Amino acid sequence: MLAKVSSAAVAGIEGFIVQVEVDLSPGLPTFATVGLPDAAVRESKDRVVAAIRNSGFDFPVRRVTVNLSPADVKKEGTAFDLPIALGILAAEQVISLERLACVVVIGELALDGRIRPVRGVLPIALAAKKSGAEALVLPVANAGEAVVVDGLTLVPASTLSETVAYLRGEWTPANLPRPIAFDGVPEGGPDFSDVKGQLFAKRALEVAAAGGHNVLMIGPPGSGKTMLARRIPSLLPPLGFDEGLETRKIHSVAGLALSATLGERPFRSPHHTISDIALIGGGSVPRPGEVSLAHNGVLFLDELPEFDRNVLEVLRQPLEEGAVTVSRAAASMTFPARFTLVAAMNPCPCGYQGHPERECVCTPFQVRKYRGKISGPLLDRIDLHVEVPALRVAELTEEMPPAESSAAVRLRVLAARERQTARHGRALANAHLGTKELRAHCRLEDGPKALLKTAVSRLGLSARSFDRVLKVARTIADLEGSPVLREEHVAESVGYRSLDRPLVEAI
């Protein structure tokens, strides 16, 4: 007896349908799985046999052959346990083949028949909808990932017996709640008003949020760099539906818990001991790394010079292209990685260069060596270099006027983003402008052009840095609602290149 069950797998961050064919034939009792299964799929036979028996069904004492089609694509993971078990029961005529033909099934089986969660449910749900399936049978723990997919009935099941009851028409699952739409600053979350002083740094982060620019903060320990970085997501506009769906797909493939709100931007903060593969993605079968998990959000790298140099250098491609390609012998995958890089560092190894009250003990050679851990090409790709000085005792102890809240700053950021969308005809932040858009929308009159020429000459800026100064100036103009770039916009943009200034005399 032959039975077919539709299941699915993930390649990169995209799902594809896999046909699970189960054949029961006379002969010595054996269980063979073919179709390029990995070790986890081959081991499913032991889980399937125990789960069927412990759920109260008889396992056939015959030759069992399972084929996973297409047979030329590597199959990995434990999501095929449940479809294999249902295929065996369908071949034994315990459930109807007609009913089974209308659904896609995924899930790992425990030995007692419980269904455990699997990775990549959201892209699988999208693939199931595209294939024309009426329903997706999935683990209860994964149901929240797939509820954003319209036009597909979800059947969250907790046990094999429950799944069989559904396919027999004896049980109907309850409706699942839709995820909450995110359109504002989370209540009770980190807020800009929590940070005392640092008006210059706050202004720079407002510019970074408005244009999607990368930013590097330089200051002594305790000056508030990490506090500021963790409050950047509260300034950013909510994700659109398509952006949110793409972001959730990446997190689903990585097996991470998804946010309850659909439009909330991710914030990733890996430790400086992270490896280059964990940051950029990889493995024998490529999986997304931290740069992809931060897609459409913020990647915060604290203590930037403490990261290994080879780890930092892999950031060049995603910072420039908004995607990363990981090639291995088994496969080559391209993962989206369009994020805002926010980094923080001390001005010197001891951390107190320029501190008003503590003396720096570092030599000029030590300072150059410390800052030299960040290569010129990487520094070129960071739009804003912002000094975050130490707060004086009076600023910490005296009563200060209430600082501006994230909600107030966010209104200006949203207005600037709306101007960019209207100008470009699509949701395109200034930081991501191509050469043609840059020349079309960042034209300079004689005054601003002369100022920029002087800055480029004195600072020795590269062509890439020149373009980034223009993009930041365009964002500053958008925050003011100015259609043209003026001298003050260019001057403020040049002022955010603090790491270029020590190389030459001040302008």
In a domain, 330, yes or no: yes
Same domain for 390 and 439 = no
What is the enclosing helix (H) or strand (E) of 491?
helix 487-495
- 493 is in which domain, residue-wise? 433-507
**Are residues 214 and 338 located together in one domain of the fold?**
yes
Do the Cβ atoms of 39 and 149 come closer than 8 Å? no
Asked if residue 172 belongs to a domain, the reply is no
Does the residue 178 lie in any domain? no
- Has residue 179 been placed in a domain? no
* Domain shared by 319 and 395, yes or no: yes
Residue 242 backbone class (left: φ over 0; alpha: ψ -120 to 50; beta: rest): alpha
Last residue of a domain, one of 365, 397, 426: 426
- 26 and 137 together in one domain: yes
**Residues 375, 259: one domain?**
yes
315 lies in some domain: yes
Per-residue confidence (pLDDT) for residue 500, from 0 to 100: 67
In a domain, 176, yes or no: no
Q: Please indicate, yes or no, whether residues 218 and 83 belong to a single structural domain of this protein.
A: no
Q: Which CATH number does the domain housing residue 420 bear? A: 3.40.50.300
Task: Tell me the C-alpha distance between 308 and 313, whole Å.
Answer: 9
The predicted pLDDT at position 504 comes to 37
Q: Are residues 364 and 462 in the same domain?
A: no
| Together in a domain, 452 and 379 | no
Residue 187 placed within a domain = no
* pLDDT value of residue 133: 93
* CATH label of the domain that carries residue 65: 3.30.230.10
CA 154 to chain centre: 25
Last residue of a domain, one of 132, 167, 202: 167
Give the CATH number, domain containing residue 471. 1.10.8
Residues 6+ apart with CB under 8 A from 268: 290, 293, 294, 297, 298, 299, 300, 339
Query: Is residue 27 exposed (0-12), middle (13-18) or buried (19+ Cβ within 10 Å)?
Result: exposed
Residue 173 lies in a domain: no
Termini Cα distance of the chain? 83
Provide the 3-class DSSP secondary structure of residue 406.
helix
pTM of the model: 0.88
CA 475 to CA 472: how far, in whole Å? 5
Run means of pLDDT, 10 residues per run, the chain, 507 residues:
93 93 92 92 94 95 94 90 96 90 95 95 94 94 88 93 93 71 60 86 94 94 91 90 88 80 85 94 86 94 94 92 84 89 94 86 91 89 91 71 86 94 87 88 87 85 87 94 91 85 40
Task: Name the 3-class secondary structure at 64.
Answer: strand
Q: Residue 506 — left, alpha, or beta (φ > 0 → left; ψ -120 to 50 → alpha)? A: beta
pLDDT at position 488: 92
Assess whether 40 and 118 both reside in one domain: yes
By DSSP bridging, strand 332-336 and strand 323-327 are antiparallel
The DSSP string of 140-161 is GGGHHHHTT-TT-EEEEESBHH
End position of a domain, from candidates 426, 442, 470: 426
Look at the chain and report how many structural domains it folds into. 3
Residue 238 is predicted with a pLDDT of 87
Determine the 3-state secondary structure of 269 from DSSP.
Answer: coil
What is the C-alpha separation between 448 and 19, in angstroms, rounded? 63
